[in-house]
Amino acid sequence: MTKSELKAFLDCKVLQYNNPTFIESDPIQIPHRYSLKEDIEISSFLTATIAWGNRKMIIKNANKMMELLGNSPYDFVMNHKTSDLDKFDGFVHRTFNSEDFKYFIKSLKNIYLNHEGIESVFQKHVDETSVQPAIHKFKTIFFSINHHTRTQKHVGDPMKGSAAKRINMMLRWLIRDDNAGVDFGIWKTISPSILSCPLDVHSGNIARKLGMLTRKQNDAKGLFELDNNLRKLDPKDPVKYDFALFGLGVFEKF
């Protein structure tokens, strides 16, 4: 396909998948239950954190997380006592366990109390072309209080070669305003033009088939290559094509 043909094809697929029916089978349904900004942020972060593996299991366990938080994530984060975290015992999603979950709640409280919230951390550390430096800084701040080393693996770091798929997905949800009712667009301080595509096995494989990604690894270098090509198709809203790549891979087995 020529560049114009590729753009037309992918634009069509974006329209096909970037609509409310997408929510029904996607983890983004979890934050869609909330209206308070902080509830949407926290539920998005926690849901995205466990968003790998079987989608039904992701949604099931994200539901369980919200139930453990009394379905009021921000209130729980800010007002919980240490003893309130005991009920997390036994929670597990793949390698994310109850101790990781407990730490995430403690660290989120620190971020809202001492760093003006999640959005502020990212807004202060993006540069003109990328959110990747802010992801690195967010991880540094997130693990700035006492923690188990093993928990660090649950937040990707672009500066250590990670594509940081789950954080980039969360940022798409919170920053991109799609006027279609899927992505929230509640963070107005960061431009969607600098977002990065959540790169995983599905989007990576489709991007390679379409000639937009030559690197074999789904890592930070691969993401940089894919981002550059997506921005050529739509400089203002490059990550809208995540819907096309994901849909082609998961729903159409392209």
Predicted local confidence at residue 253, as pLDDT: 83
Please report which confidence band the pLDDT of residue 1 belongs to, taking 50, 70 and 90 as the band edges: confident
Question: Is residue 182 within 8 Å of 23, Cβ to Cβ?
Answer: yes
Predicted pLDDT of residue 68? 98
Q: What is the dihedral of CA 109, 110, 115, 116, to 10 degrees?
A: 20
State the CB neighbour count (10 A cutoff) for residue 98: 16
Helices (H), 132-235: 132-142, 165-175, 201-209, 220-233
In this structure, are residues 153 and 124 in contact, taking their beta carbons and an 8 Å threshold? no
Q: Residue 128, Cβ neighbours under 10 Å: how many?
A: 7
What would the pLDDT profile of 83-129 be if each residue is shown by its tens digit? Answer: 999 999 999 999 999 999 999 999 999 999 999 999 999 999 999 99
* Residue 137: pLDDT band with limits 50, 70, 90: very high
Q: What is the pLDDT of residues 150-201, one digit of tens each?
A: 999 999 999 999 999 999 999 999 999 999 999 999 999 999 999 999 999 9
In this predicted model, what pLDDT tens digit does every residue of 3-56 receive, in sequence order? Answer: 999 999 999 999 999 999 999 999 999 999 999 999 999 999 999 999 998 999
Residue 253 buriedness (CB in 10 A; 0-12 / 13-18 / 19+): exposed
Instruction: Return the exposure string of 176-208: e unless at least 16 CB atoms fall within 10 Å of the residue's CB, then b.
Output: bebeeebbbeebeebebebbbbbbbebbbbbbb
For all residues of the chain together, what is the average pLDDT? 97
What global pTM score does this model have?
0.96
pLDDT over 90 (residue 203): yes
Segment 206-220, tens digit of pLDDT: 999 999 999 999 999
